[in-house]
Amino acid sequence: MFTLTRWRRAAAAAAGLTLAAGFFTAGCGAPADADALTAGQRNCTITTSVGRIAGVTAGNLCTYKGIPYAAPPTGDNRFRPPQPAARWKGTLRASDGSRVCPQYADPSSEDYPSNQKVFTNEDCLYLNVWAPKSGRTHRPVIVYIHGGAAIFGNANEARYDGSTLATTGDAIVVTLNYRLGVLGWTELGGLDPKYRGSGNNGLRDQIAALTWIRQHVADFGGDPGNVTAVGESEGAFSLSAMLATDHPQRLFHRAILESGTGYLDRSASLEKKNTASFFATTGIKSIGQLRALSTVQLLGLQEKALEASAGAIGRATYFGAYVDGTLVKAPTIDRVSQGNARGIDLIVGSNRDEFRYFAQFDPRVLSITQPQYSVVFPTVLAKQRAAMVAAYQGARPGASEGDIVLAMINDQAMRVPATRLAAAQSRFARSYVYQFDWAPNNAKSLGAIHTAELPFVFGTLRFTGIPGGAEALQSDRTRIAALSKQMVTAWTTFARTGNPGDRWPTYRTSTRATMIWNYSPTVVNAPRDTERALWNGYTFPAVDLNT
């Protein structure tokens, strides 16, 4: 497969923040006497069972940034499951929106809170809250889990600002960090049984955050009995994995999966293969070796392992949730089909041109060939592959080989698994399917690519990583803002009621109603159904290359 230069990062040194006494690091929100608070902070101060928290006034909202939901995953906690955050004395001034879990910065695709080239502070398990000021209680709660291939991303990106969602939906909005890369998603049980399960520690971080939210969100005015979890890309894969854990209803009551389902969670065999590859490439042979490494050294070894992986697909599936049989009991589609997520209302969807996103980092993506596609094409469908290719070509006269391959990958990885998951869950709760079709109408545009819906559903209209997006906003702001308003309304209405609106019917296999998001949102029954049906012979288990 092609290699994406976006992930090639030379190792860089950076100074980490020094741990201060207690549970906070230099520069983060720290306990303070109530007398030291400003008037705006006093107006946004709440009391929880772990301590008082002072937020910041932002219009009609209170914002709380940098609340620890778990103990720092440092020292003895490194590579361990998240531990409870300690209580604090005094009042925590929650105004620190700088936390980013360790990663090499990729500002072309992420919207970082600073211009650092590398982030090295492992004390990063913090969340942010946006809450309307009025004294109302039992507001719906919207929790967002960011994407980034379990390598990039953070809760403090400006494009994930929760102000519009909180205001429009009269809701409590939460964003959260979780450990990335080798620190959160490498299975170390083979080196030491005490570390068994470490390959899903990033998922455990997210579960710990959702548990903290359930325990404390009422203090912010939220309803712990009405939590909607939203994830995009890796965040959606993670939420899908949670649907395969025992009693996911304990964590959230509704879910919105944007461009990601359990199909791209990894199988146990792929996790084992990736772990073996990491050890072989880096020369790591013991837990002691890993624990002795600095954060910068770990990131360097991580990059070395990613460089040795099988191109873009290998990188995209190297880290992330996997079916371990203990936490994630079985592939998501299997567990959902059995009713494991009973009662959890669902919105799931994809973007029309997801994988053209990567062409901004490597133009060769647009020229991908059928032989290159063989790396991930399901072997169970090999005998009918020629007929499938012919069908996709017939529906796209004049399309290039690259266009056909990208359309097939889009259906295999995103669109068809979304319809399959919605159909399975429709027996046990309300399910809705969408396709996002908006694309910039200018020369820079790559189409309705991966992440293109994010500026719209958050209402921030920040087009980081979307070529031509900023130019489209400048030339067509009125229509873009109107589409965003409709999507924000649908997402928040769903969070409040479980129904995104009367114009959007539930998904049934008899009709396959799909909301097409564009300047004039329209429901279409069974869009491109002939192509969808070509995949009927594939079960969409957890991903394992060449199976």
Catalytic residue list: 233, 354, 450
3-state SS class at 455: helix
Length of the chain counted residue by residue: 547
Q: Which residues contact 48 (CB under 8 A, 6 or more apart)?
A: 216, 219
Two structure tokens written together for 501: 């609106």
Rounded Cα distance between 515 and 366, Å, is: 27
Rounded Cα distance between 330 and 369, Å, is: 33
Which helix (DSSP H) or strand (DSSP E) does residue 521 occupy? none
Q: Where are the alpha helices (DSSP H) in 98-200?
A: 163-169, 181-185
Cβ atoms of residues 210 and 252 within 8 Å: yes
Cα separations in angstroms, 126 against 68, 179, 320, 446, 466: 4, 11, 19, 34, 27
DSSP string across 170-199: T-EEEEE----HHHHH---TTT-GGGTTGG
Which helix (DSSP H) or strand (DSSP E) does residue 316 occupy? helix 311-316
Cβ atoms of residues 91 and 51 within 8 Å: yes
- β-strand pairing of 254-258 with 345-351: parallel
Strand partners, 368: none
Strand partners, 522: 516
Which helix (DSSP H) or strand (DSSP E) does residue 70 occupy? none
Cβ atoms of residues 72 and 19 within 8 Å: yes
Instruction: Name the nearest CA neighbour of 173 among 507, 491, 517.
Output: 491
Complete edge-to-edge strand list for the sheet that includes strand 91-93 = 31-32, 91-93, 51-54, 45-48
Cα separations in angstroms, 20 against 27, 28, 98, 107, 408: 10, 10, 17, 29, 52
Q: Which residues contact 344 (CB under 8 A, 6 or more apart)?
A: 243, 248, 249, 252, 253, 254, 255, 425, 428, 429
Strand partners, 62: 57, 131
Q: Where are the alpha helices (DSSP H) in 170-310?
A: 181-185, 201-216, 234-243, 268-282, 287-292, 295-307
Strand partners, 67: 127
Instruction: Name the nearest CA neighbour of 223 among 328, 287, 132.
Output: 132
Instruction: Name the nearest CA neighbour of 240 among 70, 378, 376, 422.
Output: 422
